[in-house]
Chain A
Amino acid sequence: MKHKHILLIFGFISCLFILTGCWGKKELDELALVSAIAIDESELGYLVSVQVMVPREIASDFSDELTTVKLFSDEGESLFQTIRKLTRDLPRKSYFTHLMAIIISENIAKDNMVEILDFFLRDPEVRPDVPIFIAKDTLAQDILNVLTHIEPIPASKIKKVGLNFQTNYYGVRDTTFLNLVTSIASAGVNPAIMGLTVYGNKNEGEKNVNIQEIEAKAAIKITDFAIFKNEKLIGWLNEDESRGYSYLIGEIKNTIITIPCDKNKTQNLEITSFKNKTKLKMENGKPIINITHQINSNIAQLGCSIDKNNYQKLEKLLEKEIIKDSQHTLNVIQKKFKSDVVGFGELIHRKKPVVWKKLNQNWDDYFVNLTVNLSAEIKINRPGVVDGDVIKKILK
């Protein structure tokens, strides 16, 4: 009898395995792995383009006859509806867990980005660390229409270019869409994100020709930084201003700074560490912010000769150059955009919550006239592999 019971229970349990139907199971060949999504404006509402990876082409030894990715796009009233509408064309379910880039067109960013961000926040498939970019001077769709080499998946190139730019040149604070949402949501800071654009012949970019020759016909490149006021894009910082913005927020890991020294000649310094020491002072009940750039650098390339034993002159030059850029950007964001993208408000909020309570209501107006003092502590550590004034010796 006892054995019968055990057998019965065992039988029921085995039924569990067969009858569940494996809820949530999805075989790999039933999925369309989306590498990037681009969102543009259209008459209906949205023009959504998804770049789907073709695993067989990527995994194979680069036959170069078929493209590594395919673009599917459709128009619809809302973002999610349009994604589902793509099934008219897509044979597999679009799967967003491996999304590597979100690209939003300038127009959408100016209008209603909140709706889009809401979708990405809610969807369990999208990771919060997906890099987000704004397409400048081009449709977002066009950016996904460019084939790339080295990184066979264009979206992967976009992601890695963003990272490379950030670590070896200069960068923004809001790189991922979660950062962007946080910046939008918190008072006292406004977001700024990187812009992307396509250089070259856009029509050639989507053909394999683009990657078969040494020189690409079209290429995706990082461009200026987009400045937001709350959730809306209000303008762009140009290259120098973008760099100055990076100085202000201290988002520099390693970069090169060029200082003009003579006619068409420059001194170049490699920045090995860049830290901002930010202090908040109250004077007459008004907050004053002091930012000190603490910089370590090495000499990378000299255009003019220097005093071998005394780098102070060079240090002064560098200090002047950096403060000039920072100051210029500060002026632009205070006077032109009137948007606190650096996050001074947040600083006050954190350090002097009582003061912030008063300023909170009309921070945007107050920010325009906020006093910010800039200074820099520069240290030049090494002259590079060669010591001394090589230029002088050569010119002799």
Chain B
Amino acid sequence: MSKKSTEYLINRGDNQYEIVIGLEVHAQVLSESKLFSTSATKFGAEPNTQVSLVDAAFPGMLPVINEFCVKQAIKTGIGLNAKINKRSVFDRKNYFYADLPQGYQISQFKDPIVGEGKIIIDLPDGHKEVGIERLHLEQDAGKSIHDLDPQNTFVDLNRSGVALMEIVSKPDLRSPDEVSIYIKKLRSIMRYLGTCDGNMQEGSLRADVNVSVREKGSKEFGTRCEIKNVNSIKFMQMAIEYEANRQVDLIEEGKTIDQETRLFDTKKNETRSMRSKEDAHDYRYFPDPDLLPLEVSDEFVNKLKSEIPELPDDKKKRFINEFKLSAYEATILVSDIEIAKYFEEVVAKMGKNKDMKLAVNWITGELFAVLNSKNLEITQSPVSAKNLAILVNLIKNGTISGKIAKTVFELMLKNDDDPQKIVEEKGLKQQSDPKALEELIMYLDQ
């Protein structure tokens, strides 16, 4: 079987079905204040304490747009190799919901700020280009809390009006794994750009997942269902699997698939129809008369272009060329901006006579193992880049053996001590007294 590792087909007897997936990712813009108001966006505040008169839609309140959010959207667009639209329009999407105080969401419908672009994702057997349909700016809604009271729903408007980028992919994804890789790549790009922190636990990144199925080889698209607001990669994958199989079953039974909005029930691991939203599904978009068209100049865009940092794809190329890393190693090291930063700091601190391979091994081996077991981010690493660089150099110049280095590393974990000092204090240089080593091991055991 020469099956590609991310290929995913559903088999029913002789029939083979392919899944077609498109994502509408909602990424919270990293900004101090909201898209159209001056209230704070901090996560975890007490309910309704970050709500202005504008956010709660008091009579006569008007939206005024946040320049930084516009810049963030354009930067993201640049990072997605996308067309920046110099003129975009804000529309109202009208519907009633308890956590939508205006009775409409300000969004961009016909003329988004960013047009078509693409993301390259790395698959085990090569690259794949995933098309970006558009990116637009819109307001987040508040939060409805249904489980605090049996009769009532509680409404918290802290999120109401927070800026979101809705990033719509083309239906180019074909498996749950591809979705996972795509989301991670998108998240990585935005974190490099500093436009979204990508924190899925805090809801900074959610997605509506559009799923359809078709017989393998078919060029036509099947009827799609939209699974709303899924907030983890694992749930997205589970939802896709469930939904695709449900659709295949319907086709196999000769039934038709209704185009509809569905909800993923994480407890039952199934998707179900959201009928109640369905009956009011005419959003009556029209240009928001409280806002004028948004126009940005070439100058404005070019200035932002000049501020774009090296992004993962370029960094990876550079790591391969400059540091002679393998594609695999480079992919891991650029996957997250903080890991890349750490690695580059280690490289810088190692100085001239450096062993790149050794540094990579220590980071992706020992260090990652520690981070994993302690459930830490690299930014919380108990060993600083500087000290790890010293340690690698000690091995490289033959001061200590690889085996002793592991012992030293263990010691470094406590207070991020300088390995040089540890080696000296404990007398751990090569061919050193075995007794000293023994003592050290006893010390570690305590």
Q: Do A and B bind each other?
A: no
Task: Give chain B's interface residues, CB within 8 Å of chain A.
Answer: none
Task: Give chain A's interface residues, CB within 8 Å of chain B.
Answer: none
